[in-house]
Amino acid sequence: MGDFLSKIDMFLPESNFLIVDDSNAVRTLVKQHLISLGFTNILEAENGKEALAKLDSFYKVGVEMNLILADWNMPEMNGIDLLLSLKNHPKYKTIPFLMITSESETENVIKAIVLGVTDFVVKPFDENILKEKLIAVWKRTKQKG
Amino acid sequence: MDFRLHTAQQALIFQVFSSNFGLSEAENCRIEVLKVKEPYTLVMFDFSKVSSIESVGLDVLAHLSGSILAQNRRVMVIASDHLTQRIEDCGYSGVLPCFVGVVPKVDDLIVDSKKNQEIDAVAFMQVVIPAVRDNLSVYAQLSSNFGIPRVCTQKDRPAVDIAGVGGFFCNNQKGNLLLCFQTESFLKVVSAIMKRKYLEVEPGISDWAAELANSVLGKVKTDLKAEGYSFSSGIPAVFAGKDLEVLYSTKLPPRLDIVQCSGEFGEFYIEIMMVPND
């Protein structure tokens, strides 16, 4: 666990993660994986709208989000609309965004990449896959400077 | 199953490259599907006449290549020295094997749409079963065995305690996919996923029935679309109770195809119901 965190210096144990998924099951699983990787500050939202509201309220008190992990298909506001809103927002556009999706169709993937998604986790996934994706997020964020 | 790169996808990739990623000579980029020794299909991206590509363009290319490789297809990139170096620098040499030079043009770009064909339940099940197996293996580290699919009526199938239900449209048909569990087997599957022992269906864990159906439908969608079918699905729901009987309100009695799945968790079954889309 410590070894993993030392590899990716952009994430610290106290980094803030926001999991956005309408499925309580998936939120709980992702949270469990993140805790097992050594992270402690993990927040949850059920859809894109709730995520934006939480980001706003945290921003007001000076708390920055270090990574958003969002599902693609959600009621109210889906993952792609959330991504679009964030990329158009001056304060949130640089937050790394990991899309969790059950669909890996080329058209959808390209659409999300065009909008600036950092990487994808395709369902089903386990802790190792999530760990690899966090490393990929770290590499890409570093590349983009 | 061959990987088919449709002209619409090619057009999209060209458009994305040319308008977003600073690929100054998009018209010089060639994507071709080459038939090589069976069962492989080789997808060639010819960038030999392209002078520059930004990193996000490479992200697109690498992701596309990753999904091609996942289908046991081969990918080849014909690139200039400069681009080859760039792919290496970005850490993509594993998914984008580069060859410096030009490969002769092959004219047989394939467009093979199955959008007007009916898909039968057996062919559908052949895509569903590997998706269920994959989900159990990755999420729960559980191995599973599948029986032979059989046709049944609404009255002669096993009772259900928890079912994940997802509706879908496939070409000119519509239907439902159900993952149907007894409480005991469901608890064992969820316990394996969450790595803690559940003795009863606590609030929230029944969501796993819908989530498994969702993840299975996502894989089915990807696989069927790669074969040329049209496919869309909704957000799955959960039915939970005791000895439930799921009934469909269709005009004609629906055909139901079910297949039993067994493993160390016990048993559950997959049900496919399809009717013409009117």
CA distance A60 to chain B (A): 31
Q: A-chain residues within 8 Å CB-CB of B12?
A: 106-107, 110
Position B164 scores a pLDDT of 96
Structure tokens at B42: 């080789």
List strand residue ranges (DSSP E) for chain A, in order. 16-20, 41-45, 67-71, 97-101, 119-122
Position B26 scores a pLDDT of 52
Chain centre to alpha carbon of residue A23: 15
- The parts of chain B modelled with pLDDT lower than 50 are 1-6, 20-25, 37-39, 102-112
Position A133 scores a pLDDT of 87
Distance between CA atoms of B176 and B169, rounded to whole angstroms?
9
Q: B-chain residues within 8 Å CB-CB of A107?
A: 9, 12
Residue B123 or residue A126, greater confidence: A126
Mean pLDDT, to the nearest integer, of A1-13? 67
Q: CB of B50 within 8 Å of any CB in chain A?
A: no
Distance between CA atoms of A53 and A55, rounded to whole angstroms?
5
- Smallest CA–CA distance from B215 into chain A, residue: A102
Structure tokens at B143: 């191995």
Q: CB of B2 within 8 Å of any CB in chain A?
A: no
pLDDT band at A99 (very low <50, low <70, confident <90, very high): very high
What is the tens place of the pLDDT at every residue in A21-37? 999 999 999 999 999 98
Provide CB contacts within 8 A for B40, sequence distance 6+.
B72, B73, B74
Position B52 scores a pLDDT of 65
Task: Name residues 206-235 of chain B within 8 A of A (Cβ).
Answer: 207-208, 210-211, 214-215, 217-219, 221-222, 225, 235
- Of B9, B60, B139, Cβ closest to residue A124: B139
Q: B-chain residues within 8 Å CB-CB of A31?
A: none
pLDDT band at A141 (very low <50, low <70, confident <90, very high): confident
Helices of type H across B153-206: 183-194
Q: B-chain residues within 8 Å CB-CB of A75?
A: 235
Position B172 scores a pLDDT of 80
Position B245 scores a pLDDT of 84
What is the tens place of the pLDDT at every residue in A38-94? 898 999 999 999 999 999 999 999 888 999 999 988 889 999 999 999 999 999 999
- Of A29, A32, A109, Cβ closest to residue B63: A109
Residue A107 predicted with pLDDT over 70? no
C-alpha closest to that of A51 among A35, A34, A28, A27: A27
**Cβ within 8 Å, pair A32-B67:** no
- What angle (nearest 5°) sits at the alpha carbon of residue B119, between those of residues B115 and B124? 125
What is the tens place of the pLDDT at every residue in B98-121? 666 544 333 333 334 565 667 777
B18 phi and psi angles, rounded to 5 deg: -75, -35
Q: B-chain residues within 8 Å CB-CB of A32?
A: 194-195
CA distance A61 to chain B (A): 31
Position B67 scores a pLDDT of 65
Omega before residue B39 within 30° of 0, cis: yes
Structure tokens at B124: 């559908």
Position A138 scores a pLDDT of 81
The residue with tokens 């990139």 is: B77
Distance between CA atoms of A8 and A66, rounded to whole angstroms?
13
- Smallest CA–CA distance from B21 into chain A, residue: A114
Position A54 scores a pLDDT of 95
CB count within 10 Å of CB A68 equals: 25
Position A26 scores a pLDDT of 94
Structure tokens at B54: 């930004």
Chain centre to alpha carbon of residue B201: 29
- Of B13, B20, B221, Cβ closest to residue A103: B221
- Of B12, B193, B214, Cβ closest to residue A107: B12
Position A32 scores a pLDDT of 94
The residue with tokens 């009526």 is: B153
Distance between CA atoms of B154 and A137, rounded to whole angstroms?
48
Position A104 scores a pLDDT of 64
CA distance B194 to chain A (A): 7
